[in-house]
A and B are shown apart, each in its own frame.
Chain A
Amino acid sequence: MKITRFLMRTQHAGWITLFVKTPIKPSCFHAALLRPPIPRICIGQEARWIHCGSTVYKDKPDNSDLSKLFENETKAKSLVTHDDLFERTAKDAKNKASFNRVVDVFNKQDIRRRGHVEFIYAALQKMPEFGVERDLAVYNKLLDVFPKEVFVPRNFIQRMFNHYPRQQECAVQVLEQMENYGIVPNVETKVLLVQIFGEKGHPVRKYQRLMYWLPKFKHINPFPVPFELTQDPIDLARFSLTRIANDLDAKITVYQYPSTDVTETGEEVTQPHIVGIQGPEQISLLAKHNPNRPVFVEGPFPLWLRKTCVQYYLLRADLVPPEERVQDEPDPELVGPNQCLFYPWQIDLDLSRDMGDDFSYDVEDVEEGPVYAMCMAGQGDQATLARWICGLQETNPILGRIPTVFRLESGSRELQTAADVQHDSGQNSQSGSEQEHIIEEEQLHSQRMKQ
């Protein structure tokens, strides 16, 4: 056992200094020998040699004194940042394996883990580049870099006075990065933190806070979005359209799949995907639409799914002014003398309700035109959307008689497109049949609003 040999050597070489510095009885030595080989300072200054790296131990002769030891340790050092380690090791691939390799290299190079705080800070910075910021095992491995049991406070004074504050702050930063990415730590993290810092330090308190709050808030989103969104545009469109349709009966139709054709002249013609959604309520509303009034294709509107922004288009109509509104005739079975009195549709009695039973809100309703359909397309130009309207006509034949106006946004100041979507302002209207169209030139809205 190296440690026992070291102890014997100090016994021979620094015997006199040992006795001068601390009155140690031989029994203490025996106790030290019997203890497991954890680096602990028990024989004053000289026992620091126990913490030396194994390489230093091999090279040094037995009776070198302290100063020469330190000299040789610091001789070959130059100011090299820990970032360099990452750069050098990751020349080929930046992934979890290379990150782990860098951490292993650091661990092996010095048993005292000199500079581990700076190394851990650098590693936290580099995690997103290597793509491991969501990996709990990597965080545990990073916490493993701390030397164990050195920073555990041993009496109440050390506990009071923020023992090893830099290391505690570093561990709290590791946990804070975990919190930022929403990663719930596990029992291995707790065991590591307790081994390194003891039970009453700041890192363990932070861990306890994480374990209390993160599980409470992890699943409260009523419209959850998975972390790994599908890259396939059709599936993405399906997911987002079901989300915004707010109707479980709504049906999704893929009007066009993305494809690339090569024409005779050798040009590539790409067809973007068109995915639309329409619910039964919307179909019935559209069937009742007055053919003299136009319908508008508006877009693109942004929808955020975690960090990706997708664009969708709407088919909607303007609000019908109150004088032109057609009142639906209620079913004579529901109203009138033959109605069922147990579940009455309309009663002509003068029953007034108290304000104590009035649960409505004292605001005027925001009146908006109906939305008939929504779609997501690979390209936002008029041709693609016209193709969508043609597809919609199969389920809504009235669209053939209604003039359609394209109110497409073209590069507004706020809406920066996430994907490459081309816009152009709507100029002409498109109709499927021979009826007259109303051609409207829509001015560009300077700030796009969902209406």
Chain B
Amino acid sequence: MAVSRVTLQTPAGVCGLFRRQLLQPSLSHPTILSTRSIYGEYKRPGQPPDKRWPWEKIRFDFSKGVEGIQKHFGLLKDEFVGRLRGPEGRPLLDHMLEQTLVQWEFRGPESLDQWVVSSDKEIGGQSEAYLKLGKNNTTCMLYGTLCSVPPRDGETRYSGYCTLRSKQTLLSFDRKRHFDWSTFNTLYIRFRGDGRPWMINISAEMYFSHNKNDIYSYFLYTRGGPYWQEVKIPFSKFFLSSRGRIQDDQHCLWLDKVNNIGFTLGDKADGPFQLEIDFIALCIDRAHTEEFAYEKFKRNPEVP
């Protein structure tokens, strides 16, 4: 939104007001009134607000510049060279003929860098969640404790959740990299839980900024026990929700620009939990012809 710039360019009165306020000694935060500067970028609840001036947020550093150039141009070169081999850097025959694709596997400590763990500690709750590599560095283990006592801030009513979400993959120059899963139609996960019901959230790249919190979710029921569990969830079963509320206007998940996958637990049972994931893959189930599992017609018709 360009409102902040507009306020600076409006007649001298407003600018003068702004300048007068600058002369006052103890000001620690910007006072330009606009929605973007009031609410800013998403502020993780529980963290102090970022009250620096905009120019204080830039860091001028020669070594950082050199590192940046090396890294990003290196990535750019890899992309160009990769295009010669095939789409997305993989051989063309692979891309055309593959029936399964392993997207995330945990075979080494660097694979944990692709994931972010969060719990309701951010809003003031008392759950804990940690991520580590399993035995033999071959699986990942998400473990911790849930506590559904809501934080006493007067507005939160429910609490007690934890999430494991994959980080946004980046191309050169910090551009977002989207996964193209359009050839597949089923998600395949091999995991071992402890009987708790989890929820899988997939977030895709949307066109409008209004839809930036749109998440497609479905449930993951664990059996518990010492045996590994394999589950296949077709993408037609994922329902649309935004900021935690199921939407009335449902549509299917579009697989051509997928950003993240996440697992979340919030089953109101206080106590320890653990989930061990072996790998997350995609496959095609040719027998599954369903396009979408939920009705798309208008659910709240207007007054006739």
* Candidates B98, B143, B224, B294; contact of A304 at CB < 8 Å: B224
Q: How far is the CA of A314 from the CA of B226 in the complex (A)?
A: 8
Q: Which residues of B contact A316 (CB under 8 A)?
A: 226
Whether a CB of chain B sits under 8 angstroms from the CB of A355 is yes
B194-227, CB < 8 A from A: 194-197, 219, 221-227
Q: 1/0 per position for A274-316, CB-CB distance to B under 8 A?
A: 0000000000000000000000000001111111010010101
Whether a CB of chain B sits under 8 angstroms from the CB of A253 is no
Whether a CB of chain B sits under 8 angstroms from the CB of A15 is no
Q: Assuming A354-B97, A358-B99, A359-B100, is B272 touching A414 (CB within 8 A)? A: yes
Are the C-beta atoms of A307 and B100 separated by less than 8 Å?
A: no
Are the C-beta atoms of A356 and B97 separated by less than 8 Å?
A: yes
Q: Assuming A302-B194, A449-B134, is B269 touching A355 (CB within 8 A)? A: no
Q: Which residues of B contact A161 (CB under 8 A)?
A: none
Are the C-beta atoms of B226 and A208 separated by less than 8 Å?
A: no
Are the C-beta atoms of A245 and B269 separated by less than 8 Å?
A: no
Are the C-beta atoms of A243 and B246 separated by less than 8 Å?
A: no
Are the C-beta atoms of A304 and B246 separated by less than 8 Å?
A: no
Nearest CB on B from A89, distance (A)? 26
A302-347, CB < 8 A from B: 302-307, 309, 312, 314, 316
Q: Which residues of A contact B303 (CB under 8 A)?
A: 156, 159, 200
Are the C-beta atoms of B192 and A361 separated by less than 8 Å?
A: no
Residue of A nearest to B245 (CB): A209
Number of interface residues of B (CB under 8 A): 52
Q: Which residues of B contact A156 (CB under 8 A)?
A: 303
Q: 1/0 per position for A353-365, CB-CB distance to B under 8 A?
A: 0111111111110
Whether a CB of chain B sits under 8 angstroms from the CB of A375 is no
Q: How far is the CA of A243 from the CA of B222 in the complex (A)?
A: 11
Whether a CB of chain A sits under 8 angstroms from the CB of B22 is no
Q: Which residues of A contact B246 (CB under 8 A)?
A: 209, 213
Q: How far is the CA of A290 from the CA of B2 in the complex (A)?
A: 74
Q: Assuming A216-B294, A415-B272, is B279 touching A363 (CB within 8 A)? A: yes
Nearest CB on B from A365, distance (A)? 9
Q: Which residues of A contact B197 (CB under 8 A)?
A: 221
Whether a CB of chain A sits under 8 angstroms from the CB of B145 is yes
Whether a CB of chain B sits under 8 angstroms from the CB of A178 is no
Q: Which residues of A contact B134 (CB under 8 A)?
A: 449
Are the C-beta atoms of B223 and A243 separated by less than 8 Å?
A: yes
Q: Which residues of A contact B269 (CB under 8 A)?
A: 304, 306-307, 309
Whether a CB of chain A sits under 8 angstroms from the CB of B94 is yes
* Candidates A217, A303, A361; contact of B225 at CB < 8 Å: A303
With a 10 A CB-CB cut-off, give which of A180, A225, A309 has the most chain B CB atoms. A309
Inter-chain contact count A-B, CB under 8 Å? 130
Are the C-beta atoms of B227 and A304 separated by less than 8 Å?
A: no
Nearest CB on A from B96, distance (A)? 8
Q: Which residues of B contact A306 (CB under 8 A)?
A: 269
Q: How far is the CA of A300 from the CA of B135 in the complex (A)?
A: 18
Nearest CB on B from A451, distance (A)? 5
Q: Assuming A354-B97, A374-B226, is B271 touching A418 (CB within 8 A)? A: yes
Whether a CB of chain A sits under 8 angstroms from the CB of B79 is no
Q: 1/0 per position for B234-275, CB-CB distance to A under 8 A?
A: 000000000000101000000000000000000011011110
B271-296, CB < 8 A from A: 271-274, 276, 278-279, 281, 283, 294
Q: How far is the CA of A316 from the CA of B300 in the complex (A)?
A: 56
* Candidates A246, A301, A356; contact of B99 at CB < 8 Å: A356
Q: Which residues of A contact B300 (CB under 8 A)?
A: 205, 208
Are the C-beta atoms of A301 and B226 separated by less than 8 Å?
A: yes
Are the C-beta atoms of B141 and A449 separated by less than 8 Å?
A: yes
Q: Assuming A356-B99, A416-B272, is B195 touching A304 (CB within 8 A)? A: yes
Nearest CB on A from B192, distance (A)? 6
Are the C-beta atoms of A362 and B272 separated by less than 8 Å?
A: no
Whether a CB of chain B sits under 8 angstroms from the CB of A450 is yes
Are the C-beta atoms of A223 and B223 separated by less than 8 Å?
A: yes
Q: How far is the CA of A246 from the CA of B192 in the complex (A)?
A: 13
Are the C-beta atoms of B248 and A243 separated by less than 8 Å?
A: no
Residue of B nearest to A356 (CB): B97
Q: Which residues of B contact A363 (CB under 8 A)?
A: 102, 105, 107, 278-279, 281
Q: Can you list 6 A-B pairs with a CB-CB distance of less than 8 A?
A: A220-B219, A223-B195, A303-B194, A303-B195, A304-B196, A449-B135
Task: Using A223-B195, A245-B225 as known contacts, list a sample of 16 further A-B pairs with CB atoms less than 8 Å apart, ordered by residue number in A.
Answer: A200-B303, A205-B300, A221-B221, A243-B225, A302-B274, A304-B269, A307-B269, A355-B93, A355-B97, A355-B99, A356-B99, A360-B100, A363-B107, A363-B281, A374-B225, A415-B272
